[in-house]
Chain A
Amino acid sequence: MPTDTRLAGPALHLADSLWQDAAIKFGNTAGAVLGFLGVLLVVFFAAGRATGRFSRPLAIALMLGPAAVLLLTGLVVPLLRTVYLSFYDADSAKFVGGKNYGWAATSSTIHEVLLNTLLWLVVAPVAATGLGLLLAMLVDRMRGQAVYKSLIFMPMAVSLVAASLIFKLLYESRGNGQNQVGLLSQLAVVLGWDDPPNWILSQPLNNFLLMSAMVWVQTGFAMVVLSAAIKAIPDEITEAARLDGATGLRLFLHVTVPMIRTTLVVVLATVMIITLKAFDIVRTMTGGNFGTQVLANEMYSQSFDQYNTGRGSALAVILFLAVAPLVVYNIALLRKERATR
């Protein structure tokens, strides 16, 4: 056993057994939590004592302060820094002006990436929302709808990476005459297709195959939210429409859809935002190869695989600019909806 002298000073962090290590870590955590609580107590005590014209500004500062600090350090500062870095070279050492943006605008790989991202942005959310709406309508009239709903909602609990791995297995393909491993190829063989294509290599089909994983995960979310919205339509309205002779598709198109319009748009926009950030699916299933690259994954690979901070940051800014209007629109809509209720 070493002597105790090393405990002096910064050597506090050195431990020679696992237990001691654990004790130190636990001590640090407990200390941090206690410290935090202590600070809170002091702050609230001070706030409670404040009276007169200071009390309101103080309360506002106390309540908004932490959120503002977190927002600033977690979002605003990194955002500004990303914008700043996007004007610098790969090592963030030399100012290069708009060169990175010029590269993004002219490189043919990035054109493909932008095209794919646009495709994702349109197809996946519309498919997920449409399918969600359809399922909501269908399931609503069924007995035991809770069971079906949970089953459809279940993929939401699966991470996108896990979902991609599942789908990747479905698309696995072997050459003519070999035993098929993937479900899709085997189905094709059973249906009489001797030599099914190598799905994941078939462009542009593979893009849609990748999107299926996203749709699979997001449909449950869309269904649950839309189903709640449909349920919220007052019975009087549907009854009145029925008395006026509206049935089936007309009832759906002229009563149900307009009544849930805001919810529909919110769901669509939410899935769109998730889709724009789609990164895990592409990374897991193709790594961006075979013409399936999207913006979020290209940004990551530029920054962390190729160590080009400048280009990565420029792509991040472009991605941000693409997402921002959607987020703003989404928030505005949510506000409006809340106001009408």
Chain B
Amino acid sequence: MTTPVTTRSRRLLAVPAVLALALTAACSNSSSDGGGGGGGSSAALTGDCAKYQAYAGHSGTKVTMYASILSPESDSLEKSWAEFTTCTGIKISYEGSNDFESQLPVRVAGGNAPDLAIVPQPGLLAQMVKSGKVVKPPRQTVENENKWSPVWKEYGSVNGTFYAAPMSANMKSLVWYSPKAFKAAGYEVPKTWADLVALSDRIARTGGGTKPWCGGIGSGTATGWPATDWLEEVVLGSYGGDVYDQWVSHQVKFSDEKITTAMKTVADWMQNPAWVNAGFGDVKTIATTTFQDAGSPILSGKCGMLQQASFYRAQWPKGTAIGPDGDVFAFHLPAVNPQVNNPVEGGGEFLAAFSDRPEVQAVQNYLSSSEWASSRVKVSPGWVSANQGVDKSLYTDPIDRLSADSLTDPAATFRFDASDLMPAAVGSGAEWKALTAWFAEGQSIQKTAADIDAAWP
């Protein structure tokens, strides 16, 4: 065992030294494998490994993956493909980064693209496709796509060409509340927007120290994004998918009466001084409160509800019981207009490839399969797939099941987070800034809308 390793290491030492002497620093990392099938060593896999036969034949290869998912979330991600790695011998070298969104374009432009990247914004995906470095997925990945509702395929496409398969989904249209507190006060979970407004009013008038809503849009340099979610919920819930799509493509402008009306609805809801911002202060404090902190007053009974996505479950302190009878739970935010059928706003992550080496395609194929999605569900709660091939009984967490039900409901009006679809100059630039100013400085709806429209490239 020892001897081969040491001789191997020596050889490894010698080669780079020669390279360095020749001062050819850059070339040593060329990753062109050229294996073209890995030398034909696709021995049949047996036992537990038999199900990975389709991905076999690339043993000893390495695939690099880059994403914004950090530990501990990334630990369960890596766990989800552990068996795949052992059986196929394809090593997935995962790297998570806080600066993923700004670093990926830099790395791609610098010729140092990862083999695979998990991109959470279709806008960024389009940006990457424009660079010409994104490789189209293999046939099997495209076929696996049939298990997702068609709208997802659009989100993984740029100009009609499919590039990236969705990996995960999350649901944004949730309102967090305390079932215990609701029960004690005799409140019922609202089913319609009118119910929601009536309940908010009731809490504001009779709740004593409780205000109906808490909110926070602070998020470091991304400050403002939760406010974009509120506006998106209202636009989708007021007008349905078509107007929403036109809004995303700027056929309907922010200054359009439909959108300014939606902003007015948001203002009546989250900028109502009598309704917000429990535990923190006036309306303006929404701008300085981080979204992570925003929900904590629910636990102390200072506020009743918080609109936040399914991933907010990770923000509750350890030991908080999450469930229909627990300390906190969530309900589906009702549509503003009852005519709109089950509006669901969500997000998701897409797997983009910058290489078409066979082992990279094998990983792509595997990660787009329902088998992988199921194995991911099994290793950790707090992760949901909209892949209809996943057995819903696998979800152990009530929030996950609630989200999965809505996300895989074929009748639901599902739309992707609009700010993630809009060009970055708007979606992660002007809109965040303008909505933050709207909350923080009481800027008018007209000026806010005009500022965002002006930034459209």
User: Using a CB–CB distance below 8 Å, which chain A residues touch chain B?
Assistant: 2-7, 10-14, 16, 20, 23-24, 27-28, 30-32, 34-36, 38-39, 90-91, 173-176, 178, 198, 200-201, 203, 283-284, 286-291, 301, 304-308
Chain B's nearest CB lies how many Å from the CB of A339? 40
CA distance A299 to B32 in the complex (A): 36
Chain A's nearest CB lies how many Å from the CB of B448? 13
CA distance A7 to B9 in the complex (A): 11
Q: Is the CB of A39 within 8 A of B23?
A: yes
> Known: A198-B281, A301-B221, A305-B429. Contact between A289 and B287, CB under 8 A?
yes
CA distance A3 to B43 in the complex (A): 13
Residue from A12, A35, A175, A287 in contact with B17 in the complex, judged by beta carbons closer than 8 Å: A35
CA distance A4 to B1 in the complex (A): 13
Q: Inside 8 A of A4's CB, which chain B residues have their CB?
A: 4, 8
> Known: A2-B89, A28-B16, A31-B16. Contact between A201 and B105, CB under 8 A?
no
Q: Is the CB of A290 within 8 A of B440?
A: yes
CA distance A11 to B39 in the complex (A): 13
Residue of A at shortest CB range from B123? A307
Q: Inside 8 A of A200's CB, which chain B residues have their CB?
A: 288
Q: Is the CB of B130 within 8 A of A91?
A: yes
Chain A's nearest CB lies how many Å from the CB of B63? 11
Within 8 A of A (CB), among B24-70: 25, 28-34, 39, 41, 59-62
Q: Is the CB of A305 within 8 A of B440?
A: no
A-B contact pairs, 10 of them (CB 8 A): A10-B31, A14-B60, A16-B91, A24-B12, A31-B17, A201-B441, A288-B433, A289-B224, A305-B101, A305-B429
CA distance A203 to B105 in the complex (A): 35
> Known: A178-B279, A290-B440. Contact between A27 and B13, CB under 8 A?
yes
Q: Inside 8 A of B429's CB, which chain A residues have their CB?
A: 301, 305-306
CA distance A147 to B17 in the complex (A): 50
Top 7 closest pairs, chain A to chain B, by CB: A175-B281, A35-B20, A31-B16, A31-B17, A304-B102, A27-B13, A306-B429
Q: Inside 8 A of A290's CB, which chain B residues have their CB?
A: 287, 436-437, 440-441
Q: Is the CB of A5 within 8 A of B39?
A: yes
B428 at the interface (CB under 8 A from A): yes
> Known: A2-B59, A175-B280. Contact between A289 and B440, CB under 8 A?
yes
Chain B: residues with Cβ within 8 Å of the partner, total of 62
User: Using a CB–CB distance below 8 Å, which chain B residues touch chain A?
Assistant: 4-5, 8-9, 11-21, 23, 25, 28-34, 39, 41, 59-62, 89, 91, 101-102, 105-106, 127, 130, 220-224, 277, 279-282, 284-285, 287-288, 424-425, 428-429, 433, 436-437, 440-441, 457
CA distance A122 to B105 in the complex (A): 36
Q: Inside 8 A of B440's CB, which chain A residues have their CB?
A: 201, 289-290
Residue of B16, B61, B130 ringed by the most chain A CB atoms within 10 A: B16
Residue from A31, A286, A306 in contact with B428 in the complex, judged by beta carbons closer than 8 Å: A306
Q: Is the CB of B17 within 8 A of A34?
A: yes
CA distance A273 to B411 in the complex (A): 59
CA distance A72 to B101 in the complex (A): 29
Seed contacts A13-B31, A284-B220; 8 additional CB < 8 Å A-B pairs = A6-B60, A10-B31, A27-B9, A28-B16, A173-B281, A287-B221, A289-B437, A308-B457
> Known: A198-B281, A201-B287, A306-B428. Contact between A31 and B13, CB under 8 A?
yes
Q: Inside 8 A of B441's CB, which chain A residues have their CB?
A: 201, 203, 290-291
